[in-house]
């Protein structure tokens, strides 16, 4: 495999000390943050816009554009979203553990760009080890004068605080994350009016960026926007971190350009199927994404556009691969159970809908499915996301509810017979 | 009047000082309260309310929203088994069954001597090393039912005061999501995340 390694380069070349300040600086670290100190907000925002960097947390929105929306009131805050909890996703954990200074340098750049003096890193509670690594790196950066009062000898003050979550997926949603950081229940806020760039943390302008997004910034500065764009695909610039899991021979995080095919990703990069079994389906972009199947999607190019046109999304880059022995009803039940468990409960369609979907799937898998259940699953789904379109329509404050519909529509579309067999036979045909 | 010893109060002040608004410190302080009492007691949550300026009802509403804040007594070892999609595909359900069998503790419960609490949890972000298990939030990747049983026996027989992720991974783990590479020197002391600033590690010195 000869794809350019950027975010993973340092940890690959210096496996035992890529997390230390000494190694970070020995490999060119904090040079770009120093450069950013001499640039204006407009210059940095323009540079990031030109780079084409899209947010890596799942929504794939232009990072530079997001920054340009920042309202003029101050103080402004930066919150780095390290609440990585989308089933199948484990890329941020690797960035946090193995190269925390890369993210911190990105935080400095993002802070200067957005006139931020106080930044927070929200790390999920189940990630104590990544949090410890990041805290060690922050402590080193403070001691070196790269964080704290007058960073890099300028008159710019910047404080960074690690905040550990409490085990709630919903806090990955940016307004829920902000509520959580304010010491409240992690319930999403309505947008409008609560767009973080205008009314975010403590009702002040706030930028929320994913760990991977921020970790890209030093490289955009170092390479320049032309070279950075050239790493990727015309519309999807830079590299992208894929978390591949499930029934492949070599699961793991892979840094790749957009534009390769799913066949290449699953069969070359991830080593192909375990025990050389047949490929049944895969989730292309985290639990929220509608599934793909080999008959239709294997030779599709992996880009945001092509994936969207085929009715799914790249989301957080989590690819969950299922072989021919997988019961799709059980797989769907597991994904739906997740959303049911993680629903914050504010909106009725999500709270009630995900609960019912989980119960119906469970009884089908257990052999007590009713003839009407296949239809009922779609009916309940339609009440959560009217029309069952892609991208989904929302009856809820945030996209969590509609995400739970993805596995249902996937099974209905590609595996209707298997679902029906469960109901007719009174049990799983694969058992 | 605080129920907490002076050093814990100092820690609480430090944590509050990290935020523009004391109310933001409710989550770190809840972890601090868990370390004091082993779980969140009503008195502990009241203490957090006093420090942060929330009402006790607000603190309780926050505490019950998040899965890691436990308002019932816990065992010394909280064993969490991931049964989300990627772990399920590779046998997470069998690992859970093995843990429940070896400890005699079903999901969501704690044994009478308060040695083990067991739960199945949603995705732990260890999908490349599925199935994943955590003991007091310290990770073990690439588990199997046999290794999970051995892990529980080890905890039962040795009763380690602290648990270390590298140590457990070495003894009871298999394939990892990625190379951990760097030795982890910090240990967890109880059923809450071991993070120095929160005073929930031996290094935290509370």
Distance CA A412, CA B9 (A): 56
Per-residue model confidence (pLDDT) at position B61: 98
Do B99 and B54 sit in the same domain of this protein?
no
Neighbours of A185 (CB within 10 A): 21
CATH domain A239-323 topology:
Ubiquitin-like (UB roll) (3.10.20)
pLDDT tens digits for range A253-296: 999 999 999 999 999 999 999 999 999 999 999 999 999 999 99
Using the Cβ of B195 and the Cβ atoms of chain A, whether some distance falls under 8 Å is answered with: yes
Q: Among the three residues B70, B85, B119, which one is the final residue of a domain in this structure?
A: B70
In chain A, CATH 3.10.20.600 covers 239-323
Per-residue model confidence (pLDDT) at position A235: 82
Do B60 and B102 sit in the same domain of this protein?
no
Helices (H), A328-405: 328-342, 348-365, 373-384, 400-403
Range of the domain at B90: 77-172
CB A94 within 8 A of CB A253: yes
Distance CA B150, CA B140 (A): 13
Output the domain CATH number for residue B32. Answer: 1.10.10.1590
Q: For A232-241, what is the mean pLDDT?
A: 90
Do B161 and B118 sit in the same domain of this protein?
yes
Peptide bond into B10 cis (omega under 30): no
Is pLDDT of B205 > 70?
no
Least confident of A123-127, A138-142, A231-235: A231-235
Give a yes or no: residue B202 inside a domain. Answer: no
Distance CA B183, CA B166 (A): 7
- Total domains in chain B come to 2
Cα separation values, A231 from A97, A209, A313, Å? 24, 21, 21
Per-residue model confidence (pLDDT) at position B203: 63
Cα separation values, B158 from A245, B105, B138, Å? 34, 18, 17
Is pLDDT of A297 > 50?
yes
Distance CA A23, CA B18 (A): 28
Do B83 and B168 sit in the same domain of this protein?
yes
What is the complex's ipTM, to 2 decimals?
A: 0.97
Query: Is the domain A328-425 a CATH 3.90.79.10 member?
Result: no
Do B116 and B62 sit in the same domain of this protein?
no
CB A108 within 8 A of CB A207: no
Q: Which positions in chain B touch A168 (Cβ < 8 Å)?
A: 65-67
What CATH number has the domain spanning A9-230? Answer: 3.40.50.11540
Give a yes or no: residue B182 inside a domain. Answer: no
Per-residue model confidence (pLDDT) at position B167: 97
Per-residue model confidence (pLDDT) at position B206: 46
Q: Check CB contact under 8 Å for B88 and A331.
A: yes
Interface mutation vs chain A, best among B65, B93, B179, most A CBs within 10 Å: B65
Give a yes or no: residue B131 inside a domain. Answer: yes
Per-residue model confidence (pLDDT) at position A2: 74
Neighbours of B5 (CB within 10 A): 11
Q: Check CB contact under 8 Å for A135 and B195.
A: yes
Share of chain A above pLDDT 70, in %: 100
Average pLDDT, chain A: 97
Using the Cβ of B168 and the Cβ atoms of chain A, whether some distance falls under 8 Å is answered with: no
Using the Cβ of B66 and the Cβ atoms of chain A, whether some distance falls under 8 Å is answered with: yes
Sheet with B116-121, edge to edge strand ranges? B109-110, B116-121, B77-82, B133-135, B138-140
Q: For A218-223, what is the mean pLDDT?
A: 98
In chain A, CATH 3.40.50.11540 covers 9-230
Do B98 and B66 sit in the same domain of this protein?
no
Give a yes or no: residue B187 inside a domain. Answer: no
Q: Check CB contact under 8 Å for A164 and B28.
A: yes
Q: Among the three residues B70, B103, B120, which one is the final residue of a domain in this structure?
A: B70
How many beta-carbon contacts under 8 Å exist across A and B?
195
Is pLDDT of B71 > 60?
yes
Strand (E) or helix (H) holding B127: none
Distance CA A123, CA B62 (A): 17
Do B163 and B92 sit in the same domain of this protein?
yes
In chain A, CATH 1.20.1440.230 covers 328-425
Do B147 and B116 sit in the same domain of this protein?
yes
Per-residue model confidence (pLDDT) at position B53: 98
Residues 231-270, chain A, touching B (beta carbon < 8 A): 243-247, 251-253
Do B16 and B90 sit in the same domain of this protein?
no
Interface mutation vs chain B, best among A77, A128, A251, A329, most B CBs within 10 Å: A128
Strand (E) or helix (H) holding A103: helix A100-113
Strand (E) or helix (H) holding A223: helix A211-223
Do B161 and B87 sit in the same domain of this protein?
yes
Number of helical (H) and strand (E) elements in chain B, helices listed first: 8, 5
Per-residue model confidence (pLDDT) at position A1: 53
Output the domain CATH number for residue B129. Answer: 3.40.30.10
Do B46 and B114 sit in the same domain of this protein?
no
Per-residue model confidence (pLDDT) at position B1: 77
Distance CA A83, CA A317 (A): 15
Categorize the per-residue pLDDT at B54 as very low, low, confident or very high, splitting at 50, 70 and 90.
Answer: very high
Is pLDDT of A199 > 90?
yes
Cα separation values, A250 from A3, A36, A215, A254, B128, Å? 17, 39, 25, 10, 8
Using the Cβ of B20 and the Cβ atoms of chain A, whether some distance falls under 8 Å is answered with: yes
Do B81 and B167 sit in the same domain of this protein?
yes
pLDDT tens digits for range A26-37: 999 999 999 999
Q: For A320-341, what is the mean pLDDT?
A: 98
Chain B: residue whose CA lies nearest to A95: B178
């Amino acid at each position: 495999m000869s794809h350019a390694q950027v975010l993973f380069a340092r940890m690959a070349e210096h496996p035992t000390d890529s997390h230390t300040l000494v190694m970070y600086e020995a490999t060119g670290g904090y040079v770009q943050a120093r450069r950013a100190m001499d640039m204006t907000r407009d210059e940095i925002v323009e540079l990031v816009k030109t780079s084409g960097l899209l947010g890596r947390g799942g929504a794939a929105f232009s990072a530079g554009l997001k920054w340009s929306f920042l309202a003029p009131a101050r103080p402004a805050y930066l919150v780095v979203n390290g609440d990585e909890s989308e089933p199948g996703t484990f890329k941020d954990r690797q960035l946090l553990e193995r190269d925390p200074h890369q993210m911190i340098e990105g935080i400095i750049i993002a802070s200067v760009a957005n006139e931020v003096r106080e930044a927070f890193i929200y790390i999920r509670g189940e990630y104590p080890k990544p949090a410890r690594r990041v805290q060690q790196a922050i402590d080193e950066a403070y001691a070196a004068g790269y964080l704290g009062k007058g960073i890099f000898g300028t008159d710019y003050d910047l404080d960074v605080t690690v905040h550990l979550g409490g085990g709630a997926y919903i806090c990955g949603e940016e307004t829920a994350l902000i509520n959580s950081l304010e010491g409240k229940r992690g319930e999403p806020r309505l947008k409008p009016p609560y767009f973080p760039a205008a009314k975010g943390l403590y009702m002040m302008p706030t930028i929320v960026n994913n760990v991977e997004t921020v970790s890209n910034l030093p490289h955009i500065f170092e390479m320049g926007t032309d070279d950075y764009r050239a790493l990727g695909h015309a519309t999807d610039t830079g590299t992208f971190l894929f978390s591949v899991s499930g029934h492949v021979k070599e699961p793991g995080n892979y840094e790749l350009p957009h534009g390769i095919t799913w066949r290449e990703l699953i069969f070359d990069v991830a080593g192909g199927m375990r025990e050389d079994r047949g490929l049944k389906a895969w989730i292309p972009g985290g639990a929220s994404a509608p599934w793909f199947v080999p008959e239709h999607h294997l030779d599709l190019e992996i880009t945001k556009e092509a994936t969207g046109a085929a009715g799914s999304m790249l989301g957080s880059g989590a690819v969950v691969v299922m072989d021919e022995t997988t019961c799709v009803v059980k797989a769907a039940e597991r994904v739906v159970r997740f959303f049911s468990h993680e629903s914050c409960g504010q909106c009725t369609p999500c709270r009630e809908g995900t609960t019912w979907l989980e119960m119906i799937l469970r009884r089908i898998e257990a052999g007590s499915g009713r003839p009407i259940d296949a239809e009922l699953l779609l009916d309940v789904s339609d009440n959560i996301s009217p029309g069952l379109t892609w991208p989904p329509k929302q009856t809820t404050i945030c996209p969590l509810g509609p995400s739970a519909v993805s596995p249902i529509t996937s099974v209905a579309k590609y595996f209707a017979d298997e679902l029906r067999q469960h109901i007719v036979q009174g049990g799983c045909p694969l058992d | 009047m605080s129920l907490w010893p002076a050093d814990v109060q100092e820690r609480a002040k430090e944590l509050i000082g990290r935020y523009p608004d004391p109310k933001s410190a409710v989550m770190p302080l809840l972890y601090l309260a868990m370390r004091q009492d082993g779980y969140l007691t009503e008195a502990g949550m009241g203490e957090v309310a006093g420090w942060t300026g929330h009402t006790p009802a607000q603190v309780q509403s926050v505490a019950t929203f998040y899965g890691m804040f436990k308002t019932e007594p816990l065992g010394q070892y909280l064993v969490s088994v991931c049964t989300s999609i990627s772990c399920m595909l590779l046998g997470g359900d069998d690992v859970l069954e093995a843990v429940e069998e070896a400890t005699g503790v079903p999901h969501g419960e704690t044994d009478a001597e308060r040695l083990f609490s067991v739960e199945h949890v949603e995705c732990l972000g260890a999908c490349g090393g599925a199935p994943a298990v955590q003991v007091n939030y310290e990770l073990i990747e690439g588990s199997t039912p046999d290794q999970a049983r051995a892990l529980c026996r080890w905890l039962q027989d040795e009763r380690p005061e602290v648990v270390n992720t590298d140590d457990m991974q070495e003894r009871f783990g298999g394939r990892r999501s990625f190379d951990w590479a760097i030795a982890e020197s910090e240990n967890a002391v109880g059923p809450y995340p071991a993070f120095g600033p929160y005073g929930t590690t031996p290094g935290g010195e509370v």
